[in-house]
Structure 1
Amino acid sequence: MSSRKHFTLAEARRVLPIVTEELIRLQKLQKEFHQKLLLLRTLNADERFKLECNLEFLNIQAKLHARNITSQGALLKDVDLGLVDFPSSLDGEEILLCWKLGEKDIEYYHGLQEGFRGRKKIKPD
């Protein structure tokens, strides 16, 4: 993880609006993709081809939004749950600042091996 950007809490908070916007778009695209994928089975060959082209376009858009998140230095952990981590450090140890879509702020962190269930509240300065 040392080659990745490490965020201070303030830096992670600054990119959070961008990450939030991209994640919301990504979730909408994913939902649309899955709905259209179910429809695919019911179509004839001509309709299926058109829908497959549309699905490919949705996939390209989704990859773009995911890349927009990761290009900020954030780690996209789960699109469905809206989980994003920000590499950081605390007392010389590498940690991940942890945020979930719907939370107003980044208030939690966890160790590299702990995951979402191991989240701990960030202590105020």
Structure 2
Amino acid sequence: MGNRTFTLSEANELLPELQEDLRQLQQLTATFEDKYVEYQKEKAAYEQASASAKGLKDPFFEQESQLEFMKMEADLLIDNFSRKGVLLKMINPGLIDFPAVLNGEEILICWKEGEEQISHYHGLHDGFVGRKPYPHE
């Protein structure tokens, strides 16, 4: 595990900021997916229609550039979670783990999108299915 560990109260204090970061990332990935599907359809139709027309300028440069820029932006947003010391496990639905220590054991305090606050944890190798209520601090 990394150097930073959280108490339950520290994790809950950081949660609103992380929820906003997650919301931005979810919006960006949804937009990216829509644009990528549109791009794939247009490119396939173009290639089929112009299979005989060689040497034409690629009309998809701008779309490809936008997609690449969106990917870089998403990568930066994902990296923000790591820089804050937390583990982004899933984007949709949002799932975030906070490294912590409980009774001398390394654990992960976990939050799932839709929960108002963080109240569960699991062992490092238990995953989400091994969630248990966090004892009161």
Instruction: Please indicate, yes or no, whether the TM-score normalized by the shorter chain is above 0.5.
Output: yes
Work out the CA distance in 1 between the residues paired with 2:82 and 2:11: 12
2:109 is aligned to 97
Which secondary structure does the structure 2 equivalent of 1:86 belong to?
strand
TM-score, structure 2 normalization: 0.84
Map Cα deviations across residues 50-91 of structure 1 (whole Å, 9 max, x no partner).
111111111111112112222111101111220000000111
Q: Looking at CA atoms only, which structure, 1 or 2, has the larger radius of gyration?
A: 2
Instruction: Tell me, yes or no, if the aligned pair for 1:18 and 1:69 is still in contact at 8 Å.
Output: no
Instruction: Tell me, yes or no, if the aligned pair for 1:77 and 1:85 is still in contact at 8 Å.
Output: yes
Work out the CA distance in 2 between the residues paired with 1:119 and 1:15: 20
Work out the CA distance in 1 between the residues paired with 2:18 and 2:104: 26
How big is the shift at 1:41?
A: 1.8
1:36 is aligned to 35
The answer to whether structure 1 residue 112 and structure 2 residue 124 are counterparts is: yes
Q: Does 35-44 or 89-98 show the bigger shift?
A: 35-44
1:15 is aligned to 14
Work out the CA distance in 2 between the residues paired with 1:119 and 1:110: 5
How big is the shift at 1:98?
A: 0.2
Instruction: Tell me, yes or no, if the aligned pair for 1:15 and 1:72 is still in contact at 8 Å.
Output: no
Which residue identity is paired with 2:16? Answer: P
Work out the CA distance in 2 between the residues paired with 1:13 and 1:58: 29
Which residue identity is paired with 2:37? Answer: L
How many pairs were matched up?
Answer: 123
Which secondary structure does the structure 2 equivalent of 1:42 belong to?
helix
Which secondary structure does the structure 2 equivalent of 1:4 belong to?
coil
Runs of 4+ aligned residues of structure 1 deviating over 4 Å after TM superposition are none
Let me know the Cα RMSD of the aligned residues: 1.2
Give structure 1 stretches of 5+ with no counterpart.
Answer: none
Matched residues, percent identical? 43
Give structure 2 stretches of 5+ with no counterpart.
Answer: 47-57
